[in-house]
Amino acid sequence: MDTTVQELGDVVLDALRVAGYARSTIGQYEKTIRYLKGFVADRGGVYTPALGARFAAITTSPRTGRFSAQRRSDRRRLVTLFDGYLTAEVVDLSVRTRGGGGPRPVSDAFMAVDAAWEADMSERGLAPATRSAYGRVARGYLTYLESRGIDGLAGADGASVLTFLESLTDRWAASSLVWVVSNFRPFLTFTGRSDLVSAIGLAGVKRSHRILPVLGDEDHARVVHACTTGRVCARDAAITLLALTTGLRACDLLALRLVDVDWRAGTLGIIQQKTGNPLTLPLAPLVSTKLAEYVLHERPRSGDEHVFLRRKAPHTRLADHASIYRVTATTFGVAGVADVKAGTRLLRHSAASRLLRAAVPLPTISAVLGHASQESTNVYLSTDEKRLLECVLPVPAGAQR
């Protein structure tokens, strides 16, 4: 195999053209390849992964001496493609998801614990998103122990659980630590260490039960108007309308496939990513119309059978929850709806609220939202402020001041 930068660069550029990348993007790759050629020029122009790592590590501009995020991204991506081709003789243009699962333990004992935890979650059939969340916080704890010179669970104690949670407060809001604790407890239970499980209860992290935010009627109308009048692209409109009318989770929007849509019946039939339960949902006419517009006229040609694809090459499924959030946030911005966090959670709450106000029974709402337990739906009772006010008892006359 010819491993010169010139040859490897030509292979990568050809793959980009075949995949339909924009000319401007290919030009950026060509620019980075030229820089790499200059970097290895005194070594006969031959590329090696070690040279690639050194090249990718140069993230400051020689002109200004300042760090460049664009330079780092361009160089890392090119080196990844080169290294992948040297290993498998395939230019892997798949989109990388963010994060990478966080830091991982390096001691043999903790690597074994991590592997056993992953195997246990897989055997129990936990959803991929759940395994990812549980695994990330478990590895965070194990690497925290390593940073304190502890290389086995035998050296851990209840205090380490509390100090680990304390170490997260500079990155997590206090109100968000409840999710860390929720994801951490199953791992501690898995270890069989009752003292560690008991310690997490001493952290005092409690779930708040605030009234869930929902879209007001005017904002709801603005979002629908933006989606149905062509002010946003058909893909973004279809995603937003689906979340707004059905309450679908972001993970289910990402996983939605063309075969899941029954155009004749006007329904969606999916297996929920979170619960693994089957779910069939009706499609409102405005949603099916916008979805059909996207599939027929805007969706890129691709072998990927997921409904919602990237607009830019490679035309694969949207990468993660952040992709869905960008879509809904953009739609809200175009609609002129500000001062709200326009994620699918808000849209899910709004869908539940509108069903509740329409006097739809809770069991039906639970089925539409795909809850594994009807008890999970009771939280949406707090969104019906009008009916909650009807439940308020008058203050006895003798108690008034």
- The CA distance from 365 to 222, in Å, is 24
C-alpha 389/C-alpha 181 separation (Å) is 34
DSSP tag of 313: S
Please tell me what DSSP assigns to residue 298. Answer: I
140-196 residue pLDDT tens:
999 999 999 998 999 999 999 999 988 887 766 666 677 888 889 999 999 999 999
Burial (CB < 10 A; 0-12, 13-18, 19+), residue 240, is buried
Write the pLDDT tens digit of every residue in 36-53: 999 988 878 899 988 888
How long a stretch of residues is the chain? 401
324-344 b/e (C-beta count within 10 Å ≥ 16 → b): bbebbbbbbebbebeeeebbb
Let me know: does 159 contact 116? Beta carbons within 8 Å. no
- Cα–Cα distance, 352 to 377 (Å, whole number): 9
Residues 109 and 72: their CA atoms lie apart, in Å, by 34
For the stretch 256-285, pLDDT in tens is 999 999 999 999 999 888 777 888 888 999
Q: Which two tokens stand for residue 336?
A: 């002129």
The residue among 133, 125, 344 whose CA lies nearest residue 253 is: 344
Output b/e per residue, 109-146; b: 16+ Cβ within 10 A. Answer: bbeebbeebeeebeeeebeebbbbbbbbbbbbbbbbbb
> What is the full per-residue pLDDT of the chain (401 aa) written as tens digits?
788 999 999 999 999 988 888 888 999 999 999 999 999 888 788 999 888 888 888 888 777 778 787 888 899 899 989 988 888 888 888 765 544 456 788 888 898 999 899 999 888 888 777 888 899 999 999 999 999 999 899 999 999 999 998 888 776 666 667 788 888 999 999 999 999 999 988 877 666 555 567 788 899 999 999 999 999 999 999 999 999 988 888 889 999 999 999 999 999 999 888 777 888 888 999 999 999 999 999 999 888 999 999 988 888 888 888 889 999 999 999 999 887 777 777 888 788 777 777 777 777 777 777 766 666 566 655 555 555 445 445 666 665 55
Query: Around Cβ 321, how many Cβ atoms within 10 Å?
Result: 18
How many beta carbons lie within 10 A of that of residue 369, not counting itself?
A: 22
Round to whole Å and give the CA distance between 94 and 50.
23
CA distance 307 to 318: 9
- Residue carrying structure tokens 């039939």: 269
Structure tokens at 109: 């004992």
